[in-house]
């Protein structure tokens, strides 16, 4: 009974948490917008009443850029009320954050696992526990598909889209390409937009503030840039791809550890669905000697045994990820 209560949140509690997550991001967006307006701004003003923002890049020659007349610099101070509004928005944000933290801090998925993953804070964790609760999905592939992280096959020639792998378009015979699913006007999407957005935020968070998963992100980014099949991609495309692959890997770890934490079975064959030869075992941001860590002892050790992976390989993986996440912190902008 107790276990079921943890596994399945009350319907109303789940709805409340989801509402609060959405509100949190809405308020955050508003706060950022207000923050941009609260600063003192400088303008150039001439006697013909032309007023334009003070040029930031070029050196200003003292003349109006529109009519050439002598001009002066005017400072515009925003009303004090804007500062008050900013403070209030910050307070609301903190309040929602505290509410969500209150929820996740009691949940085993947080206490046994997610709190040890750098880049997953209470707000993302609240999303993972409600929107992508591992108890709701039979397999990890179903979780990926729900979040729109699967691959679809499309014909760039005629627009035909298929969920199944296909090399030739059945409509026009041209080559099909695998890609991230896209919204097509007039067609219902087969993934959940809220789940997809959550995964996008997770990927961005790993890139910006992750630990071991930032290591994975860097590894996948580098691989993408070296991949001859990704030739001609923009930097933004590579980054989006690396974030996606990292998030997908994280979800596969979250899926099996999450099921384990909740006392639910998970199918071993999913490892074969992933990549039969280089299975990547679950990781967290260990502090100190990982072999003494509860997480390693309780979950990882057995998985390594089941899969037949050498402990040394795991030690190397952790070392490599820590190195990757630490070095060249500024090299990616
Ligand atoms: Zn002017
Ligand atoms: Zn076609």
3-state secondary structure 130-168: HCCCHHHCCCHHHHHHHCCCCCEEEECCCCCEECCCCCE
In a domain, 10, yes or no: no
> Each residue of 183-195: b (16+ CB within 10 Å) or e?
eeeeeeeebeebb
User: Is the pLDDT score of 327 beyond 70?
Assistant: no
pLDDT at residue 248, as a whole number:
95
Number of domains in the chain: 3
CA dist 13 and 57 (Å) reads 51
pLDDT at residue 161, as a whole number:
86
pLDDT at residue 108, as a whole number:
96
* Nearest ligand for residue 50 CA: 1
pLDDT at residue 41, as a whole number:
84
Q: How many whole angstroms from 233 Cα to the centroid of ligand 2?
A: 22
Average pLDDT over residues 153-166: 86
Average pLDDT over residues 238-244: 96
Exposed/middle/buried for residue 310 (C-beta within 10 Å: 0-12, 13-18, 19+): exposed
Grade residue 276 by pLDDT with cuts at 50, 70 and 90.
very low
In a domain, 134, yes or no: no
pLDDT at residue 2, as a whole number:
44
Give percent of the chain above pLDDT 90: 66
Q: State the residue for tokens 């509402």.
A: 19
Q: How many whole angstroms from 38 Cα to the centroid of ligand 1?
A: 26
Ranges 36-45, 59-68, 209-218, 269-278: which has the least confidence: 269-278
Q: How many whole angstroms from 44 Cα to the centroid of ligand 1?
A: 9
Q: How many whole angstroms from 55 Cα to the centroid of ligand 1?
A: 14
pLDDT at residue 270, as a whole number:
54
Residues 201 and 327 in one domain: yes
Over the stretch 68-113, which tens digit does the pLDDT of each residue have? 999 999 998 899 999 999 999 999 999 999 999 999 999 999 999 9
Grade residue 269 by pLDDT with cuts at 50, 70 and 90.
low
Residues 259 and 325 in one domain: yes
* Nearest ligand for residue 154 CA: 2
In a domain, 11, yes or no: no
Ramachandran quadrant class, 159 (left: phi over 0; alpha: psi -120 to 50; beta: rest) = left
pLDDT at residue 8, as a whole number:
58
Residues 68 and 179 in one domain: no
Q: How many whole angstroms from 188 Cα to the centroid of ligand 2?
A: 20
Q: How many whole angstroms from 149 Cα to the centroid of ligand 2?
A: 23
* Nearest ligand for residue 169 CA: 2
* Nearest ligand for residue 65 CA: 1
Q: How many whole angstroms from 156 Cα to the centroid of ligand 2?
A: 7
Average pLDDT over residues 325-331: 60
* Nearest ligand for residue 47 CA: 1
- Stated pTM of the model: 0.84
Domain boundary pick from 163, 190, 217? 190
Residues 214 and 327 in one domain: yes
Residues 248 and 181 in one domain: no
In a domain, 305, yes or no: yes
Over the stretch 181-226, which tens digit does the pLDDT of each residue have? 887 777 777 889 999 999 999 999 999 999 999 999 999 999 999 9
Q: What is the DSSP code string of 190-244?
A: SS-HHHHHHHHHHHHHHHHH-SHHHHHHHHHHHHHHH-GGGTT--HHHHHHHHHH
pLDDT at residue 332, as a whole number:
46
Q: How many whole angstroms from 63 Cα to the centroid of ligand 1?
A: 8
pLDDT at residue 274, as a whole number:
52
pLDDT at residue 210, as a whole number:
94
User: Is the pLDDT score of 156 beyond 90?
Assistant: no
Over the stretch 291-324, which tens digit does the pLDDT of each residue have? 999 999 999 998 888 888 889 999 999 999 999 9
Domain housing 48: 40-77
Residues 287 and 214 in one domain: yes
């Amino acid at each position: 009974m107790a276990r079921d209560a943890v596994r399945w949140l009350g319907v109303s509690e789940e709805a409340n948490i989801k509402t609060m997550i959405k509100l949190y991001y809405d308020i955050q967006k508003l706060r950022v917008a207000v923050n941009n307006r609260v600063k003192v701004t400088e303008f150039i003003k001439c006697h013909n009443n032309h007023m334009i923002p003070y040029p930031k890049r070029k050196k200003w020659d003292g003349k109006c850029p529109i009519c050439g007349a002598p001009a002066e610099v005017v400072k515009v101070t925003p009303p004090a009320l804007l500062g008050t509004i900013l403070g209030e928005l910050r307070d609301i944000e903190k309040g929602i954050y505290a509410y969500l933290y209150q929820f996740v801090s009691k949940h085993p998925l947080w206490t046994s696992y997610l709190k040890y993953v750098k880049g997953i804070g209470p707000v993302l964790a609240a999303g993972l526990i409600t929107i992508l609760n591992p108890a709701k999905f039979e397999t990890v592939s179903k979780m990926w598909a729900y979040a729109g992280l699967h691959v679809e096959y499309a014909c760039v020639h005629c627009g035909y889209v298929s969920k199944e792998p296909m090399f030739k378009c059945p409509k026009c015979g041209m080559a099909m390409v695998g890609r991230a699913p896209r919204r097509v006007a007039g067609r219902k999407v087969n993934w959940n937009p809220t789940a997809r957005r959550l995964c996008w935020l997770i990927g961005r968070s790993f890139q910006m503030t992750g630990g071991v998963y930032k290591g994975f992100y860097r590894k996948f980014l580098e691989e993408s840039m070296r991949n001859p099949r990704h030739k001609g991609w923009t930097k933004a495309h590579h980054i989006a791809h690396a974030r996606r692959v990292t998030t997908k890997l994280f979800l596969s770890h979250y899926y099996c550890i999450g099921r384990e934490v909740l006392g639910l079975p998970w199918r071993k064959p999913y490892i074969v669905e992933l990549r039969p030869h280089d299975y990547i075992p679950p990781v967290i941001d260990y502090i100190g000697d990982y072999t003494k860590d509860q997480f390693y002892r309780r979950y990882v050790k057995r998985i390594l045994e089941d899969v037949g992976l050498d402990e040394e390989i795991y030690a190397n993986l952790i070392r490599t990820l820590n190195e990757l996440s630490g070095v060249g912190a500024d090299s990616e902008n």
